[in-house]
Structure 1
Amino acid sequence: MAKRIIGWLVLIPLCAVILVFALANRHPVPVNFNPLISVDPAAPGAGVPLFLIIYAVLFFGIALGGIAVWFAQGQHRRAERRWRKEAEKLQRELEGVRGRPARRETDPALAAADELA
């Protein structure tokens, strides 16, 4: 419960700051992907609001980071699947052994253990 309250205490001001930033940066800016050609801000054409450019770059960075982490964790996921399969196999084997009646008469070690008990 405390984590949820602290999360909201951080999330609400952060959302407010993002909203104020977006409202303050509504003016259109020219976008150019060629660094060798300068763009004249007075030239006619459509611009993109600055906050959209910044949000798009942030979203692209978050998505790229998520993809990189997903690829980096591939070995761990593979090992987890292998361990899970092995645990399921051992669980089935254990259930099979528990369901089978003990062969005390054929195994002298089990017969000796019964005599001691």
Structure 2
Amino acid sequence: MINRVVAVLILVPIAIILIALSVANRGNALFTIDPFNPGNPALSYSAPLFVWLFAALIIGLVLGSLVTWSNQGKHRKLARQRKLEAEMLRKEARKAATETASTPNLPSLH
């Protein structure tokens, strides 16, 4: 419940700002890949500015997600190893419990 409220409190203002930016920046902007010949029509693309802003936002989100995912790889590997180790210990504990249950009670030699 709290996560949903926090998400609404953060996402709604961001959405309003993005919509306002999109409406305000409808004019075409030229994006050129060739820095030495900016007028080259083969390497220049024209689109509304908000398209370039959203494209930059999406590319940033994807790249940031990939970097975070790759940096957390060692933690995922450690979690997998510990999960396997815990499963092995559970199996050993079950095996030991069944062995002690099947062994007859011998009198102690005190």
For normalisation by structure 1, the TM-score amounts to 0.77
After superposition, the Cα gap between the structure-2 partners of 1:103 and 1:48, relative to the gap in structure 1 and judged at 3 Å, is: same
What is the identity, as a one-letter code, of the residue corresponding to 1:98?
A
| 1:48 and 2:47 are equivalent in the alignment | yes
Of stretches 74-83 and 6-15 in structure 1, the one that deviates more from structure 2 is: 6-15
Larger Rg: 1
| 1:72 and 2:71 are equivalent in the alignment | yes
Of stretches 45-54 and 8-17 in structure 1, the one that deviates more from structure 2 is: 45-54
* Runs of 4 or more consecutive aligned structure 1 residues displaced over 6 Å after TM superposition: none
The offset of 1:104, in angstroms, is: 4.3
The offset of 1:60, in angstroms, is: 0.7
Contact 1:25 1:49 in 2 (8 A): yes
- C-alpha RMSD over aligned residues: 2.4
More strand as a share of residues: 2
Provide the identity percentage: 28
User: Which residue of the partner structure matches residue 14 of structure 2?
Assistant: 14
| 1:30 and 2:22 are equivalent in the alignment | no
User: Which residue of the partner structure matches residue 4 of structure 1?
Assistant: 4
After superposition, the Cα gap between the structure-2 partners of 1:46 and 1:93, relative to the gap in structure 1 and judged at 3 Å, is: closer
Q: Matches of 2:26 and 2:80 in 1, distance apart? A: 49
Q: Unaligned 5+ residue runs, structure 1?
A: none
Q: Matches of 1:83 and 1:93 in 2, distance apart? A: 15
Q: Unaligned 5+ residue runs, structure 2?
A: none
Q: Matches of 2:77 and 2:2 in 1, distance apart? A: 35
For normalisation by structure 2, the TM-score amounts to 0.81
The offset of 1:62, in angstroms, is: 1.1
